[in-house]
Structure 1
Amino acid sequence: MPVTLVEVAARAGVSPATVSRVLNGNYPVAESTRQRVEEAVRELDYVVNAHARALLHATSGIVGVVLNDASDPFFAGIARGIQGAAAETSRLSVICNSEGDPEQEFAFLDLLRGHRADAVILVGAAPEDEEYRAAAIARAKGLRSSGTRLVLCGRPAPGDDAPGDVVTIDNEGGSIAITRHLVELGHRRIAYVTGPDGRSTTTARLAGFRAALAEAGLAVDENLVVHGDFSRQAGREAVERLLAAGHDFTAVLAANDLVAAGAVSALRAAGRSIPDDVSVAGYDNLPTAVDVWPNLTTVHVPLEEIGRKAVELAFGPGNAQETTVVTVPTELVVRDSTAGPATG
C-alpha cells in the first residue's frame, strides 16, 4: 500500500497540515520541523499523489510540450531548455510528438487540457491556412478557460484574439544576415533550398533570402529555389536536381543545417569542392554544423534559451488574459564552408 501523508505526519511527530506545508513550501515552518518532515519522507519513501494535489490546488505540476518532430535536434534543443527550466520548479515535462500532423497536434492539446496541465508549450512552425488558424484559436481559448497557460514557441499567434504568449525567432532577420554574407563574398547565383511549403518558418526564412537579394539589387532566379523539407535527404535531392538540370550557381543556402549537410553530400558526390567550387550555408547552428567538413557557416538560434524563455512566460507574473510576445535574436556564425566564388 502507498504511504500516506498521515503516516509521514505520525513518523515526524507533527500534524498532516504541517507536512503539507513543508511539501508545498507555501507557509513558513521552523527549520527543525522541516528537517523532521523531510527525514520522515525519505525513510518512508513517500511520493506526493499528483492527482490529489491537482484536485486540492487546481494545479497538476505538468508542463505539456507538443513538438513537430522529437527526433529533430532543433526541437530536441528547445525541449531540453523547457525540461530543465520546468524541473527547477519541480514540474514534470510531458513530451508529445505530433510529427507535424495538425490533427495529432490538436489531439495532444485536448489530452493535456483533460489532464489539467499547468501550461502547454507548442513548439515548431505552424501551417498557414485559415482552417488551421480557426481550430488553433478555438484550442487556445479552451485551454485558457481551463486555467492552462499556452505558450507558442517558434511560431506566431494564430490570430489577434488567440490567448497565449509567444516566443518567436527572428527567422527573417537571420536569413537576411546570411544571404548578405554570401552577397558580400561576391556570390550572385545563389541556390536556395527551402523547408516544407505552407509553414511559418519556411515562409520567414525564404522571405529573408528574397529581401537580402532585393536589397543588393539582385533578382531571384526561381529556377534556383527548390522546395523540400527540413531533412538531410531533401538537401541532397534538391542539389542533385539542380546539377542534373545544368543550372549555374556558386553558392547554396539551405533552410537548416540538416538540409545543408545533404547539399554538401550531393556536391561532393558530383566532384565539387566546398567552398572552392561552391559555398554552402545552413541555419540553426545544430551540432551537424560542426560535424560535417568543412564546418558550416550558419545562423545561430539559441534553442535552450528559447525553451527556458517559454517556461518563464508560462509561469511568470504576467496576466493570463494578455499576450506577451518575445522575439529571440539570431546570430551569423561564419565558418569554413563559405568563401568567394571561383574566378573564371
Structure 2
Amino acid sequence: MTVTLADVAARARVSPATVSRVLNGNYPVATSTRERVLRAVDELDYVLNGPASSLAAATSDLVGILVNDIADPFFGILAGAAQTAIGEGTSGRAGGEKLAVVCNTGGCPERELTYLTLLQRQRAAAVVLTGGAPEDPDHLTAMAAKLGKLSDAGTAVVLCGRPPVSGGAVTATLAFDNRGGGRRLTEHLVSLGHRRIGYVAGPTERTTTRHRLEGHRAALEAARAADAASGGAGAAGSAPEDQERLTIHGLYDRRSGYDATLELLRRDPGLTAVVAANDTVALGACAALRDLGLRIPEDVSVAGFDDLPFAVDAVPALTTVRLPLHEAGVRAGRLAMGREAPPPGGIATIGAELMARASTAPPRKDSPRTTIPISSGCG
C-alpha cells in the first residue's frame, strides 16, 4: 500500500500541513517537531510524489560527510580530504561534479540519524561517516537499519575512522587501530620507566574512547605482569583499581584536559606521566602542569593521540600517535565515488604510528614529589 502524507502526519502526531512544511523546507518548524516528522518519514519509507517515486532507486549529485565537530581539527582534516577526493576527475559545468555537504552532528546520535534520513530523501550518491560511533545498542540497531535503506536505494556508504557495522550495508570501512595505538603509546612510557600514569579519556559513550583506553590498560597490565615476573612488586598504579582511580573521562577538548590533570594530581601527587585522549586534550594537560609550576617532561611527561598539525610545534613537541587523517579522508572519498575498489572483505584497518618527541622522558630519580601546589588561581 502506498504511504501518504496523511499517514506520515498521523505517525508524527502533527498536521499534514506541518509535514509539508518540513519536507519542503519553506517554513520554520520547531527542531523537535521536524525530527519527529523525519523519523516518521523514515519509518514509513515515504516518497514525496509520483515523479519522486519513479526516481526512488536513482541517486543525485549530493554526497554527505558526517562529522562530530567540524571545529575539531581531527574531523576538519578528514572532511576536507574526503571533499577534495570527491571532486577529483571533474571539470567544467555538468562535468560530473558532486556537491559534498558536511553535516555537523555535534556528537548527537539523534542528529546523526536525522542527517542520514535527509540524505536518503535526497537520494544522495554517497555518505561518508567519520569518527567514533556512539555505543548505545538502540542507536546501533537504528543505524544498521538506516544504512541498509541507503544502500538499497543505491547510496554508497563509507565509514572512515569508525568501527564496522553488521548487516553488510556498507561499501567500505576504514577503521583506525585505536587499540594498537593506545597500547604502543603507553608501552613507550613504560619503557622509559613510568609506572604512575594518569589517563584523561574521552566521553564514555564513544567507541574511540573505549578502544584507546583498552590499549592503554593492556600495556599497563603487561607491564605489571612483567614486573612481577622479574621479582618486583608489580607496576605501581597499574592494578585494575588504580587504573580506574587514575582515569578521568571528559570531552575531547582543552578544558577537559586541564581540569582532569588537576584532579589526577590531586588523587596521586606522585604521577610521573599523563596520557591524553587526543592532542587537544593533551594541550590542556600541559597548561595545567605549567600553571602548577611543573616542567614537561622533567617533572611530568605528557602524551597525546592523533598527531594533529600543531603537535610537532607545541613546546615541548608533543609525543603522540599519528593517524594518517588526510590519507584516510582521501581514500574514503575515492571509495565513495567508486574510484577505488573496496578492501578485501570491505574492511581495512589503518595503522597508528608512535611519534616519540620531547614531551616524554624517563621519570626523575631524585626526590619524588609528595605534594602538588594546586591553587584556585589556576586556569
Q: Report the TM-score when normalising by structure 1.
A: 0.80
The aligned counterpart of 1:37 is none
Would the aligned equivalents of 1:151 and 1:314 in 2 still touch at CA under 8 Å? Answer: yes
The aligned counterpart of 1:201 is 208
The aligned counterpart of 1:308 is 330
SS in 2 for 1:338: coil
Q: Deviations over 1:173-224 (max 9, x none)?
A: 1111111110111101111110100210001000000111122223242221
Q: Deviations over 1:293-313 (max 9, x none)?
A: 111000111111111111222
Q: Report the TM-score when normalising by structure 2.
A: 0.73
SS in 2 for 1:96: strand
Deviates more, 1:188-197 or 1:157-166: 157-166
CA positional deviation for 1:319: 8.8
Would the aligned equivalents of 1:164 and 1:323 in 2 still touch at CA under 8 Å? Answer: no
Matched, 1:280 2:302: yes
Would the aligned equivalents of 1:82 and 1:308 in 2 still touch at CA under 8 Å? Answer: yes
Matched, 1:85 2:85: yes
The aligned counterpart of 1:66 is 66
Consecutive aligned runs of 4 or more in structure 1 exceeding 4 Å deviation: 317-320
Would the aligned equivalents of 2:203 and 2:251 in 1 still touch at CA under 8 Å? Answer: yes
Whole-Å Cα distance in 2 between the matches of residues 302 and 223 of structure 1?
Answer: 32
Q: Deviations over 1:236-293 (max 9, x none)?
A: 0001112233442100011100010000000000010000000000000012313421
Whole-Å Cα distance in 2 between the matches of residues 246 and 333 of structure 1?
Answer: 27
SS in 1 for 2:173: strand
Q: Deviations over 1:66-116 (max 9, x none)?
A: 111111000001011101101114322110000000111111101111111
Q: How does 1:1-344 map to 2 (within 5 A)?
A: 58-89=58-89, 90-217=97-224, 218=235, 219-220=238-239, 221=242, 222-316=244-338, 324-344=346-366
Would the aligned equivalents of 1:165 and 1:313 in 2 still touch at CA under 8 Å? Answer: yes
Whole-Å Cα distance in 1 between the matches of residues 103 and 180 of structure 2?
Answer: 30
RMSD of aligned alpha carbons: 2.4
Whole-Å Cα distance in 2 between the matches of residues 318 and 78 of structure 1?
Answer: 17
Would the aligned equivalents of 2:303 and 2:320 in 1 still touch at CA under 8 Å? Answer: yes
Would the aligned equivalents of 2:130 and 2:160 in 1 still touch at CA under 8 Å? Answer: yes
CA positional deviation for 1:318: 8.1
Identity fraction in percent: 48
Gaps of 5+ in 1: 1-51
Gaps of 5+ in 2: 1-51, 90-96, 225-234, 367-379
Would the aligned equivalents of 2:164 and 2:347 in 1 still touch at CA under 8 Å? Answer: no
Whole-Å Cα distance in 2 between the matches of residues 97 and 317 of structure 1?
Answer: 26
Q: Residues 243 and 207 (structure 1 numbering): CA distance in 2 closer, same or farther, change over 3 Å?
A: same
Whole-Å Cα distance in 1 between the matches of residues 310 and 341 of structure 2?
Answer: 39
Would the aligned equivalents of 1:64 and 1:119 in 2 still touch at CA under 8 Å? Answer: yes
CA positional deviation for 1:58: 3.4
Q: Deviations over 1:8-59 (max 9, x none)?
A: xxxxxxxxxxxxxxxxxxxxxxxxxxxxxxxxxxxxxxxxxxxx9x96x934
SS in 2 for 1:93: strand
Q: Deviations over 1:142-174 (max 9, x none)?
A: 101211011111111232454442110011111
Whole-Å Cα distance in 2 between the matches of residues 93 and 335 of structure 1?
Answer: 37
Q: How many residues align?
A: 292
Would the aligned equivalents of 2:64 and 2:119 in 1 still touch at CA under 8 Å? Answer: yes
CA positional deviation for 1:314: 2.1
Whole-Å Cα distance in 1 between the matches of residues 200 and 183 of structure 2?
Answer: 15
